[in-house]
Structure 1
């Protein structure tokens, strides 16, 4: 009887753990940090930002872009001012984040009279790793001023996963303690 009870408790703990960790495939919010290293222009220095998007529509085949409609949000601190996705000149159709075969190519992010992040100011819907300063509303007045590097942020476990692990651990410790109290040895 005691063995059956212990086995059922252990099976329940394993089921909770597996259910918390193994979930059906679902959309994930992906987080990236980026650093602008401006080496020329009016505001040389390092500037930091981050962006997030929902990857549920990515196919990892060919050229793809995701925008605000895919949950793209941006925070970028440049020369003491914080910019968001709504700061983009063509919001809400821009900014976008570009991918080639599922790999991040970069942001395409234009803030009028301030800066552009991307590879080509003329084709501003292609993300990239170049940083341009903008002298006026005319995109032809851009000057390449630096580079952008991207780093994927480590995802934080969801509360359900942490809860399942905590329950399974507590049950395992309880069983171990109960064995010790009852005098059962391995």
Structure 2
């Protein structure tokens, strides 16, 4: 009976570890939240958005770009208005997210007469973490920064919770066995 119980625990532990192990070979939809922290200009404050993309198009080597043709979806609430990837002025080419050796550089997103998110207004092909406002259709002013946070996959979070619970349970059993 004790052997069956130990085997059951070992099997459960192996499944839990497999659930949280990275799966580089499998493609996944990757989600990011971003926060614009506008510290100057006419509308200082924090504004929130998100984007997602299919990572099967990435190799993790060198400079890489993903756009709407790769499934990039963007949602951003600025001044009470909701914007999506379709609001980008050059929707057929932008918005994009750029990577360098697998690391996110940032978003490049331009909504006419409103804002730009990127690295530099003169290099729209490189995503970044600077927020600009647009006035008079042509004047851009840097007013803040953008921070990005990857949203954990629910399966990985669940696997971590299962593994942690199992670890606590085993630890409790060991302490009970020592006392008894």
> Quick check: which has more Rg, 1 or 2?
1
| Residues 114, 135 of structure 1: 8 Å contact kept | yes
Change (3 A) 1:118 1:31: same
Query: Is 1:44 aligned to residue 41 of structure 2?
Result: no
Residue aligned with 2:154, SS: coil
The secondary structure found in structure 2 opposite 1:56 is: helix
Partner of 2:143: 146
Q: Which residue of 1 aligns with 2:135?
A: 135
Give the TM-score taking structure 2 as reference length.
0.73
In the alignment, the residues of structure 2 paired with residue 118 and residue 24 of structure 1 have an alpha-carbon distance, to the nearest angstrom, of 30
Quote the Cα distance in structure 1 between the aligned partners of 2:9 and 2:109.
52
Distance in 2 (alpha carbons) for counterparts of 1:40 and 1:3: 66
CA RMSD of aligned residues (A): 3.3
Structure 1 alignment gaps of length 5 or more: 177-185
Between the aligned partners of 2:37 and 2:23, the Cα distance in structure 1 is 40
Instruction: State the secondary structure of the residue aligned to 1:158.
Output: helix
1:183 alignment partner in structure 2: none
2:67 is the counterpart of 1:75: no
Query: Where do 5+ consecutive residues of structure 2 fail to align?
Result: 174-179
